């Protein structure tokens, strides 16, 4: 079923409100996918982004899609082929570092809600003009961090963002303090060393900490 940009942003907004952090996951071994997802969901982070940066990514999405309580999406979508592959694998949403007409059209046609990326006011305005009121601010830290995102919020208060890129547990509260930030994306909750070691208890503990993150006290 096709989806409009407005409907896509509404669904992304709902997902972003489920937890303050969306884990950004690079899965190199599909056998890790299900226990990794189970640990993150158990820790209170139900919305998961699996980046299409490894050969195992689509298989990992398919495995994670079977985990009760999880909402699994595909990240690093670069073109229509990625959108269709993600949809077939069972992704509930898609994330892209930027946005092109072909990518947006493919998401809308496939009925896959997209969180498109923007780093400048012009990019954000073009997406808003099309109907995308929820966007990914990427690469967050390299593009100016909290100060840049706060500055964008002044002329563009109708856009809500999920900043991603270089964000840590220490930096997340500053982003979450901003009125135009719904949640943040971060990879710190599933470090490669813990995934390779199969230390799911440690990952669940990191997820529990992340699930409690909020605005830094006295930030407003």
Catalytic residue among 49, 108, 171, 204: 49
Active site residue 28: no
Nearest by Cα to 81 from 65, 61, 56, 58: 58
Catalytic residue among 92, 108, 136, 204: 136
DSSP annotation of 68:
T
* E-state strands within 104-202: 114-115, 117-118, 134-137, 160-163, 184-186
Active site residue 49: yes
- Across 191-219, b (16+ Cβ under 10 Å) vs e yields eeebbeeeebebbbebbeebbebebeeee
| Residues 9/170, Cβ–Cβ less than 8 Å | no
Count the neighbouring beta carbons within 10 Å of the beta carbon of residue 75.
28
Instruction: Quickly list DSSP for 147-158.
Output: HHHHHHHTT-TT
Q: Which residues are catalytic?
A: 49, 136
């Amino acid at each position: 079923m096709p989806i409009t940009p407005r409907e896509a942003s509404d669904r992304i907004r709902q997902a972003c409100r489920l937890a303050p952090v969306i884990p950004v996951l690079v899965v190199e071994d599909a056998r890790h996918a299900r226990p990794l997802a189970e640990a993150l969901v158990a820790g209170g982070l139900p919305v998961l982004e699996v980046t299409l940066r490894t050969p195992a990514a689509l298989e990992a999405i398919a495995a994670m899609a079977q985990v009760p309580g999880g909402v699994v999406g595909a990240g690093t979508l670069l073109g229509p082929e990625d959108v269709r592959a993600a949809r077939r694998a069972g992704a509930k949403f898609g994330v892209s570092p930027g946005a092109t007409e072909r990518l947006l059209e493919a998401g809308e046609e496939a009925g896959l809600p997209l969180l498109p990326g923007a780093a400048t006011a012009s990019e954000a305005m073009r997406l808003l003009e099309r109907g995308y009121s929820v966007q990914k601010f990427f690469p967050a830290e390299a593009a100016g961090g909290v100060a840049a995102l706060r500055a964008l919020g002044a002329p563009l208060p109708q856009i809500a963002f999920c900043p991603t890129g270089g964000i840590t547990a220490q930096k997340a509260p500053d982003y979450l303090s901003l009125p135009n930030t719904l949640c943040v994306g971060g990879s710190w909750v599933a470090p490669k060393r813990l995934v390779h070691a199969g230390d799911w208890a440690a990952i669940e503990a990191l997820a529990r900490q992340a699930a409690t993150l909020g605005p830094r006290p006295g930030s407003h």
